[in-house]
Amino acid sequence: MTSSILPDSRLSILPAAVSLLLEQIVQQTYPASALYVVATPIGNVGDISLRALHVLGKVDAIACEDTRNTVHLLTRYGLSKPLLAAHQHNERQIAEQIIVRLQKGERIALVSDAGTPAISDPGARIVDAVRNAGLRVIPLPGACAAITAISASGLLNDQFYFVGFLPNKTQQRNTLLASLRSIAATLVFYEAPQRIAACIESLVGIFEGERQIVIAREVSKLFEEIHRCSLSKAASWLDHHAHSEKGEFVVLLEGAPNFTDTHADEVEAKRVLNILLAACSVKQAASLAAEITGQKKNALYAMALKMKTQNTD
Ligand code: SAM
């Protein structure tokens, strides 16, 4: 026996596991008249599920963002299928064609160029139309750059806020970013290589420098890099790393530090005061509301007074 994990053992172990799984997958049900939303790899050709491969081989046609990319992908897996070009400019029309075909009992798959359709990619309009037509939509989970980057970030926050691509124009980008300053969840951005430096510059100008940032580049590919540092050091990291402005990026930014959700506090205070004011004076209502909500009595008194006046006007 050899302890090598190279070709021999690979060839003996993997096919057995794969054929066992394939047997189960082939026996599962694949309803007709359904749209299959299939995630494809974000770089590494191995990151596709066996179920996805089976469905891509079984469907009558594949609606895809760019037929050249999908032909290339299918060829790598030894597959060939009729393709329907479904990009952001023709989603509505193609949705109608897909619905007609589904109503005839066909199975159609929807893929994007990479990752999960409808995540910063076309697909949502087609899914919406198919659902509205009362037809079934079956998702096949798989790679998504945002989720993959979060999983390797080590940022200790269960919540994230997916922003996706930022506007190209500096002013629009900064306005959008400023509106995200108080969000406590991790912020998730997609960025293209030619804009990564401008994106970091905008982040540095708007958010606290001590927030952690994760720059995930070329995830699952040969030159994968997942760098984490404080925001104040991010620009210099980009400057000092050859190749750091090449490839595809997910940028994660730690949520607002010690953030209290003032809007949620206000809504809760109003709800409590509303009940109390029906039975108590302004002073009593403010005092009880302070005990119930833990908010400041003076602020609650001012709010109660305003509510009372508005109600009596
Ligand atoms: N639908 C895809 C998904 O599920 O993630 C996203 C498609 S969007 C058009 C493409 C963007 O996703 C890229 O510009 C980049 O921001 C991000 N992305 C895709 N693949 C990536 C990878 N391998 N590494 C880092 N970011 C990636």
Over range 106-127, report the average pLDDT. Answer: 97
Q: Is the CB of 65 under 6 A from ligand 1?
A: no
Q: Is the CB of 189 under 6 A from ligand 1?
A: no
The rounded distance, in Å, linking the Cα atoms of 259 and 140 is 36
For atom 25 of ligand 1, which residue has the closest CA?
249
Over range 117-131, report the average pLDDT. Answer: 97
Q: Is the CB of 142 under 6 A from ligand 1?
A: no
Least confident window among 14-18, 86-90, 155-159, 234-238:
14-18
The whole-number pLDDT of residue 2 equals 40
Q: List pLDDT tens digits, range 198-235.
A: 999 999 999 999 999 999 999 999 999 999 999 999 99
The whole-number pLDDT of residue 303 equals 93
List, in order, residues 6 or more apart from 39 with CB less than 8 Å away. Answer: 49, 52, 111, 115, 116, 117, 140, 141, 142, 143, 144
User: What spacing in Å lies between the alpha carbon of 220 and ligand 1's midpoint?
Assistant: 11
Q: Is the CB of 276 under 6 A from ligand 1?
A: no
Q: With CA atoms as reference, report the closest residue to 164 among 252, 227, 41.
A: 252
| pLDDT for 3 beyond 90 | no
User: What spacing in Å lies between the alpha carbon of 248 and ligand 1's midpoint?
Assistant: 6
For atom 2 of ligand 1, which residue has the closest CA?
115
Q: Is the CB of 86 under 6 A from ligand 1?
A: no
Q: With CA atoms as reference, report the closest residue to 161 among 253, 226, 245, 87.
A: 253
